[in-house]
Amino acid sequence: MPQLSVVIPAYNEQDNVPRCASEVSRLLDSHNIDYELIFVNDGSTDRTWQRMSQLAASDERIKAINLSRNFGKEGAIFAGLESAGGDAVALMDCDLQHPPATLLEMYNVWNNNRGEIDIVEARKKNRGKEKTIYRLFAKLFYKMIGNMSGLDMRDASDFKLLDRRAVDALLRMPERLTFFRAMSSWVGFRTEKVYFDVGERTSGKSKFSARVSIRYAIHSITSFSSDPMQLVTVAGVITFLIALVFGANTLYNKLTGNSAEGFSTVILLQLVTSAIIMFSLGIIGYYLAKIYEELKHRPRYIIKDKLNFDDKDKS
Ligand code: UDP
Ligand code: MG
């Protein structure tokens, strides 16, 4: 078993896969680290898988997993984690936005403190080239997640290195709808931070458009906290208070004899309350859908091919 497994999910990264492989191998080789690179092809529609197979054929330390379709980054991450055999498993993006030099730094932190530090997480020193509005949303999102889960998620990323103990703990978590970034904090263990500058994407486009990011944010919050459902209760309480005030006001008007309450007030109240009800039902419905999805116990991913994994490795 190697010392270090590096899991690299890739979706339509045909040009980044070879570049990432050569940069990471060169660096780890030059420091005599015993490693395996595990590329996970997340249902790419370009030549990503061909590139991975070529790499796997040329170097047995480069392993490749081909998923049957695009399962999303979370699925790809867990496919890699479950197949990794290293004493430590690191996760990094394929587009070299996660600098290999930081990977080495994380490895050294772990290796010099074996048995003590089980997780090394890389935090973003800056957020790279991002629009201000996006940055604002990200900040709000992590604040919410932080408040709800009690985990410090500011500037967190999926760029992490986990000791075997932490990986096994993570893999024992049974949920289907995963959120790696938060789950790897939730398992506890002593965690050390390193900081990195988010680099430029070497080629290709980001897979996280505004729409995907919003969906990912909602998914992450709800997979980690049921607090949004409490909003329903809060909305109920607020509506009730408003109703009390209005009721008292109407009664007062009636008693003082000028009950010229308008039809429009009724309509307005109707609209407000039905909006709150629909909004609340929406939130509950969302959780119901999540429960339904979890209940189906479907796999997090489906593997089509695996290259360079011998029988001794877990599959
Ligand atoms: N990725 C993946 N499956 C997806 C979307 C993304 O495996 O459905 C991979 C992608 O190939 C990259 C990493 O996740 O290695 C991060 O994606 P990206 O660079 O697009 O995200 P960003 O850096 O813009 O947040
Ligand atoms: Mg990227």
Longest dimension (CA), the chain: 92
- Residue 115 is predicted with a pLDDT of 85
- Residue 314 is predicted with a pLDDT of 45
Residues 119/161, Cβ–Cβ less than 8 Å: yes
Is residue 72 lining ligand 1, measured as CB closer than 6 Å?
yes
- Tell me, rounded to whole angstroms, the distance of Cα 309 from its chain centroid: 26
Q: What is the mean pLDDT of each run of 10 residues along the chain (315 residues)?
A: 92 92 93 94 94 92 94 93 94 91 93 90 76 77 75 79 94 86 83 85 76 79 77 78 79 76 69 79 84 87 90 49
Backbone φ and ψ of 173, nearest 5° = -75, 125
Query: For residues 306 and 12, what is the distance between their CA atoms, to the nearest angstrom?
Result: 18
pTM of model > 0.85: no
Query: For residues 75 and 56, what is the distance between their CA atoms, to the nearest angstrom?
Result: 21
The CA 208 to ligand 2 mean position distance, Å, reads 8
Query: For residues 204 and 308, what is the distance between their CA atoms, to the nearest angstrom?
Result: 27
Q: Which of 44, 65, 73 to mutate to test the pocket of ligand 1 (most atoms within 8 A of CB)?
A: 73
- Residue 231 is predicted with a pLDDT of 78
Q: Out of 1.10.101.10, 3.90.550.10, 3.40.640.10, 3.50.30.10, which CATH number does the structure's domain 4-224+309-313 have?
A: 3.90.550.10
Residues 169/89, Cβ–Cβ less than 8 Å: no
Work out which ligand 1 atom sits closest to the CA atom of 198: 23
Q: Which two tokens stand for residue 238?
A: 């607020």
Q: Which ligand is nearest to the CA of 208?
A: 1
Residue 215 CB partners (closer than 8 Å, separation 6+): none
Q: How far is CA 161 from CA 15, 192, 265, in A?
A: 25, 10, 59
